[in-house]
Structure formats: C-alpha cells, structure tokens
Structure 1
Amino acid sequence: MSTPQARRSNTRQRIQDVALKLFSEHGYEKTSLREIAEKLDVTKAALYYHFKTKEDIVISLFQDLAAPIDDLVAWAEEQPRTLETKNEVLRRYSESLRSAEPLFRFMQENQAAVRDLSIGETFKQRVLSLFALLKEPDAEMIDQVRCLTALFSMHAGMFAMQNVKGDPEEKRKAILEVATELVTAANPPSRRPARPDSAQTESP
C-alpha cells in the first residue's frame, strides 16, 4: 500500500510533467495554473498544496536536475585529474540528462522566461563547474573549446537528434561518444598529468 508521502511525491511529479508539457507546447507566459490544474483534473487548491506559482514548478524542475550534477561535481573534485575521470564525468552527466530532455526543450523554447527567473544563470554555473573539471588549468584555447563543446553537444544533441531516425538509447550513446572524443582530443598523452602509480622502476 502506498504511503501518504509516496502519493504526495507522485502528485508532485505529475504536476511537473504536465506543466512542463504545457509550457513547451503553449509557452511559459501563456500557460496558467488553472490550465495545469484542469489538465491534471484537480482543483487549484490541490495544486497550491504543492506549488504556489508557475515559477515554483520550474524552480523545482531545475533543482531536481541540479542535485545529481552537484553530486557529480563533488565526486569528481575528489578524484585524480585523469582522462579516465573526465570520461566518467561525461558518462555520469549523460545519465543525469537521460530524463531531462523535456526540460532542455523548455529552456530552448522559453529563453526569455528562463532568464527572467534567474534559473538559467544557476544552471550555467553548474555547466561551468563541469567545464573546469574537463579542461586542464593551462589548456590552450582550442582545447578549452573542445571541452565546452563536449558539454554543449550533450545538451544540443537531445534536440538535434529528435528528427533523426533511430533508437533513443543508441542516439544518446552516439552523443556521448562524440563528447568523449572531444575531451580525449583536448587531453592528449603529452599534456595529461602523470598518474601516481606510473613511476618507472629501475631495471636490475
């Protein structure tokens, strides 16, 4: 039997899903809380129990996306700065974006609203934190571009590949492979920091 907390969580998720769909279809500004409640077949009072404003709904969506990214950044900062770590950052980031396609579509189609709500700046700072983990501190400009492009290719790829026939999982893996290639090219062996266990032992 489901608990009250589980039911509340499920209702919150339903509100987020329906609101995001309406925001993407009709625009953030043109969608009202009343329309969201009607689509959900609930009263406005029931909707208010979870979210008081449309802004609260959008902020909650970004918070849900931000949590795994914050965890990823915290994890990566404790790891050796190797290409293996950077590739793992990309893999985990790809996983965190798996269910975020509707949110990125909303961001793309409602850029003015995103700026006005200040959530765009919050997300930008998290992307820059990931960028700092992927590039070397003294990276040449072309390698900085490669690392930043790797991240944006993961975002843009979710839109661009919508009109390409194929299995969604195959497309996600292809996008990740391209991002990995870019970061690998930005971290050639000659510029990678030496691993602690790579010291040469003297021959007898």
Structure 2
Amino acid sequence: MAAPAPEDTYDKVLSAAVELFAEHGFAGTSLQAIADRVGVTKAALYYHFRTKDELLDALLRPALNDLDRVLDTAERRKGQAARQRLLFEGYVDFLLRYRTLAVILDRDVSVGTHPAIRPRLESITGRVRGVLSDSERPIEFRVASTVAMGGIYSAVAMFPELPDDELRGLLLDIVRRLLAPRRSRPAASPDAA
C-alpha cells in the first residue's frame, strides 16, 4: 500500500487533532497521540507541524479569518442596527460552520488563552465590542447584546446534537426577541415587594 500523499496527511492530522483536542484537551494531547491516530510516524507529522502551537494555529487560522470577514462585513454596513444584525447572523453561521472548534474553545480554556491564539482573539473581541457599542441605546440593550453574544456561543457548544438549520433558527429568533425594543415599563411600587 502506498504512503498517503502529503496533502492527505496534512488534512488527516488536522482532523485527528480536532478529535483528540475535543476528547483530551489541548494540553492532554501529544503530537505522538496525533501521529498514532493518523497512522503515521512522528517524523511524518513533523513534516507538516513542528510543534503543537503550529498545529493549533493551522486549525484556528481559517476559522478566525472567517470571523474577521464577518466583522468586516458588519463594520462596512451603514446603520448601527444593520451592523449588529449582520454581526449576530454572521456569528451564528460562523459558530455552526466551526461547531467542533467552538466546543473545544468552550471546554478548554487553555486554547483561547494560548499565546499563539490570544492576541488574535483579543483583537476580534475588540472589534465585536466596537460593533455592539451603541451609546445611543439604553444600557439594557447593551447588556442584552452582550448576553446574546455569549449565549449564542454557549448554545452552540451545549447543543451539538441539534441540526444546524434548527439551531440557527432558534438562536436568531431568541436574539431578535432579546434585542427587541422594550416599551417603557411603569416603575415598580416599593410596596410590590
């Protein structure tokens, strides 16, 4: 049997790394374990990735590039409400496209805080805050939009069994309801408690 082509090995290494990171965490997964899962020697793995940091970067770079594109689209849109809508829709689609990575990031804090990834995530977080910040809106809306972003992420990680289209519809409906303008409510009477 012929040895797999280098491109095949590269893709298989990435797939095995995602599986093992999901099972054992980033710190709990060795390059040897990844090589064993793929069925190649550690030297063959080193041909593609010298370190786990390089492997982590190769796994997350395409996803983070996609998230940057979501933010680019939202930031270019005129009107704060339109920017925010595009951000939420794009973020839901992004997380569904990269569900396994979202679960890994949710369950393994060491990945999101890893020096190879952290600066990029901090930059993205700053851009998200920029799109969501709207000093014209009441504080209730700003808090709700922050809750929505975190909730979307958590729901994608918590409900991996739900089909993408069903979860997408649920999430976007919940975000719309959460961020819908509220009518003024009468102040509660002190005697009501």
TM more than 0.5: yes
Of residues 12, 19, 22, the one that matches 1:21 is 19
Structure 1 position 22, deviation (Å): 0.6
**Structure 1 residues 12 and 178, CA, compared in 2 at 3 Å: closer, same or farther?**
farther
Question: What TM-score do you get using the length of structure 2 for normalisation?
Answer: 0.78
Of residues 123, 126, 132, the one that matches 2:121 is 123
Contact 2:106 2:154 in 1 (8 A): no
Contact 1:37 1:43 in 2 (8 A): yes
Distance 2:170 2:156 in 1: 11
**Structure 1 residues 85 and 49, CA, compared in 2 at 3 Å: closer, same or farther?**
same
Determine if the alignment matches structure 1 residue 169 to structure 2 residue 188.
no
Q: Give CA deviations for 1:33-62 in whole Å, capped at 9, x if unaligned.
A: 111011111222221122111111112222
1:135-150 alignment, distance < 5 Å: 135-150=133-148
Contact 1:131 1:151 in 2 (8 A): no
Structure 1 position 82, deviation (Å): 4.3
2:159 counterpart SS class: helix
| Corresponding residue number in structure 2 for 1:56 | 54
Contact 2:111 2:117 in 1 (8 A): no
Distance 1:183 1:128 in 2: 21
Distance 2:178 2:66 in 1: 23
Give structure 1 stretches of 5+ with no counterpart.
1-6, 189-204
Structure 1 position 124, deviation (Å): 3.9
Determine if the alignment matches structure 1 residue 160 to structure 2 residue 158.
yes
Contact 2:63 2:98 in 1 (8 A): yes
1:20-99 alignment, distance < 5 Å: 20-99=18-97
Paired residue type of 2:12:
R
Structure 1 position 27, deviation (Å): 2.4
Contact 2:70 2:91 in 1 (8 A): yes
Give the CA RMSD over aligned residues: 2.5
Distance 1:95 1:13 in 2: 23
Aligned residues: 179
Greater RCO (Cα-Cα under 8 Å, separation 6 or more): 1
What percent identity do the matched residue pairs reach? 22
Structure 1 position 152, deviation (Å): 1.2
Structure 1 position 185, deviation (Å): 3.7
Give structure 2 stretches of 5+ with no counterpart.
184-193
